[in-house]
Structure 1
Amino acid sequence: MEQYLFKEDSNNQELQVYDTTKLYGESGNFRVMQFANAAIQGAMDLNDPKRILFEYPRAIIHLMECNTPSFGDVFMIGHGIGSIAGHYVDKRFKIAELNDKVVELSKQHFGYNHDNVIIGDGRQILEHEESDAYDYIIIDAFNEKGTPLHLISKDFFQVTKEKLHPYGSIIMNLMGKGNNDRLMNAIHTTLNEEYDFVQSFQLPSESATDVKNIIIIGSSSPIVYQAQHMAGFIRIELGQGHIIRDSKHR
């Protein structure tokens, strides 16, 4: 049974917040932010608000803490309910989010209490940041077609490398079919044009054609992780793909 707290079209985007007693087969007391086509953007366990429900933010947090334990500065594109930034009280996050209503709802219904979100296009905001400013750049942004093209192009990855410390990393949360996905192969290959070390991880699924969360991390330093702390994500080897370049109509 779903109890709606908010439901409207905002900036041409369907947006809902509701409470439910069932989430992905688990019984409990949950609050969900959802976009169009049943795309859940974030969820909170109302009985344990500090618990991070989804696997992908837990895996990203592990990669961050494992590769640069003393990290301090993070730039993030895509806010949702603020699970990753809200997890830290002693780190400096700057977050870019296109939809101001998403930020408002994260504060009103999910307890997000930081004042570090800028409304606007994440790439444009990042382009105006200082060079060598960040330990991590995290991409967790989706529209109805998936991750926007201008956030997965060679030109964009050049920008991210300029804004990261020499030892910094870019971490991307994507949706795809793993090594059977032409776009995932292209993103991996394009990222490898700018970063010496690239690794990819996915959640296991019953079918190779299932769409699932895929995490890709790029760095100028060797990437380390502990498999038991990757929240179920397993390493995969993506194939060679084409180089993604900016659209002339961006």
Structure 2
Amino acid sequence: MKTRIPPLWLLVLLQTVVSAASLVVEIVAGRMLAPYVGMSLYTWTAVIAVVLAGFSVGHWWGGLMAGKPQETALRQTGWVLVAAALSTGVAVVVLQAIAGPVMSVVSHPLWAIIALCTGAFFLPSLFAGVPAPVLAQIGANTAPDSGRALGALFAAGAIGAIAGTLLAGFVFISYLGSTLTLALVAVIYVATALLSFWLAGRLPRTALLASVLSLALAGYALAAPSPCDTESDYFCIRTIDISESPSEPVRMMVLDHLVHGTSAANDATLMYTDHAAMLDQLAVLRAPAPAFSSFFIGGGSFSLPRALAAREGHGPITVAEMDPAVTKVAARDFWFDPASATVLHRDARVVLSQDTTRYDIIIGDAFTDIAVPQHLITQEFFELVQARLTPDGSYLMNVVDYEDNLQTLGAMLRTLQKVFPVLEVWVEQRAPVPGERMVFIIAAGTAKTEQASFVTRSPDPARYGALSDAMVAGIMGRDTLILTDDYAPIDRLMGLRPD
């Protein structure tokens, strides 16, 4: 077979498709890492850095290939795209295989994220970066106007990247899931590899066999067990049974890699974590009336709305939960009755901005990875919360911070102090373990809680109390940072520490 001179439109199409496929892999990489290391600024930083490193090495390699005769360059590009199909198709298997050893050997979370991302997604990115210089060189050599050809191919790469990003985020992951999306990308890489061989004038039998092998391995990856029971647009959702007795079911909801709630079938009011126990009890203690209205920022397993609904005489309950799949799982596995509350599948800040309803109690219990989402911890947001509270209403907020740090807690308190006249910090009354990651509840409003401590179950009885005003002032006095929409470095404040 004779080497074909490809028209510019075909080179542009090939570059667009390869670029789109490579960005699909990048978006999927972040989704697939979440069950192991969470979804945070650090996760996406590592994904972008590793993928760009792969592209860079691939472009360098492709530049070396571009200087060879066209037939050789296209044939080698075909082989590289077969390798892209192979490495992409098995990425999920590789990630599952290395996750355990990496997490056990690499103690620092940041390095664990980088190691996992590199192990699973560096090679697919490297191979995907090779074709661009080859296609650019061929376009410049064969097109009447080399400048026009180069411009078209660079534009095709950018357009493909945009298309791949949009398709991955809005279509593929939502309707196919991560593993099937990667299998589809492997098929696309095989198709582009075969096209490259065809343009080179020869389709080696070994290349055809390698392509079939790549597709077979991608199919094998589809059969691998998923870490998710449900993969939604937002989370990898798992339900874990922790019952001690089949007659007394207890289940735990895990979103990505963190527990977001635990519920018991036989007792809706039994809490299994310190933060849930404190929020539940403080809501009752600080409510201006027994039939108080409540607004929950985040649903999770819906343990708190369920507990509130189980009490006689409760007022209207509203929950803002971004992910409809989380609500479905809560109803299916965690005994939450959707009819007991008004559930809004929208961002809580958007809801509070658009609806002027006032509530007696607003509870902030939304977490992404280890921190509250940035837009829910700023002075502007707290001003919105204050505007949606009744005159005697209270805002209760869950905060996690390290015992020897407390930068996050201090920043939250200083910011809330700009909006609310009275602040309290509640915590379990015990001596903390050095370096412990502790759970605090901030109560903000116009008056103090009538009692300074209480005993409740979480699930065993424990006593919780409010820190003294002097201790709260001391925590706030450690820094001057106020969190705003313009600057709220929650990831830096929380930091990453070995478990």
TM-score (norm 2): 0.45
The letter for the 2-side match of 1:232 is R
Unaligned runs of 5+ in 2: 1-225, 457-461, 489-499
Q: Say if 2:381 is the partner of 1:150.
A: no
- Are 2:268 and 2:306, in contact at CA under 8 Å, matched by a contact in 1? no
Superimposed CA distance per residue, residues 131-169 of structure 1 (whole angstroms, 9 cap, x where no aligned partner): 6x1101100000024101111110011001111111111
Alignment of 1:216-227 (within 5 A): 216-227=442-453
The letter for the 2-side match of 1:18 is I
Q: 1:225 to 1:59 in 2, by over 3 A?
A: farther
Query: Which of 435, 438, 442 pairs up with 1:212?
Result: 438
Deviation at 1:178, TM superposition (A): 4.9
Query: Which of 164, 185, 207 pairs up with 2:410?
Result: 185
The letter for the 2-side match of 1:175 is V
Cross-structure match for 1:7? 229
Cross-structure match for 1:114? 338
Query: Which of 411, 415, 419 pairs up with 1:194?
Result: 419
Deviation at 1:51, TM superposition (A): 2.5
Deviation at 1:248, TM superposition (A): 7.4
Cross-structure match for 1:20? 242
Deviation at 1:245, TM superposition (A): 0.3
Superimposed CA distance per residue, residues 194-247 of structure 1 (whole angstroms, 9 cap, x where no aligned partner): 111001122346424211221001001233335133643333334124110003
Cross-structure match for 1:25? none
Q: Which moved more, 1:164-173 or 1:45-54?
A: 45-54
Unaligned runs of 5+ in 1: 23-27
Q: Say if 2:331 is the partner of 1:100.
A: no
Q: 1:59 to 1:248 in 2, by over 3 A?
A: closer
Query: Which of 44, 47, 50 pairs up with 2:263?
Result: 44
CA–CA distance in structure 1, aligned partners of residues 465 and 375 of structure 2: 27
Q: Cα RMSD (Å) of the superposition?
A: 2.6
Cross-structure match for 2:356? 130
Cross-structure match for 2:285? 66
CA–CA distance in structure 1, aligned partners of residues 355 and 229 of structure 2: 35
CA–CA distance in structure 2, aligned partners of residues 50 and 217 of structure 1: 21
Greater strand content: 1
Greater helix content: 2
Cross-structure match for 2:482? 243
Q: 1:109 to 1:156 in 2, by over 3 A?
A: same
- Are 1:202 and 1:235, in contact at CA under 8 Å, matched by a contact in 2? yes
- Are 2:319 and 2:344, in contact at CA under 8 Å, matched by a contact in 1? yes
CA–CA distance in structure 2, aligned partners of residues 128 and 81 of structure 1: 25
Deviation at 1:29, TM superposition (A): 4.7
Deviation at 1:179, TM superposition (A): 7.0
- Are 1:178 and 1:184, in contact at CA under 8 Å, matched by a contact in 2? no
- Are 2:422 and 2:446, in contact at CA under 8 Å, matched by a contact in 1? yes
- Are 2:403 and 2:432, in contact at CA under 8 Å, matched by a contact in 1? no
Task: Kindly report structure 1 stretches of 4+ aligned residues shifted beyond 6 Å.
Answer: none
Classify the secondary structure of the residue corresponding to 2:426. strand
Q: 1:180 to 1:72 in 2, by over 3 A?
A: same
TM-score (norm 1): 0.85
Deviation at 1:112, TM superposition (A): 0.7
Identity of aligned residues (%): 21
- Are 1:62 and 1:229, in contact at CA under 8 Å, matched by a contact in 2? no
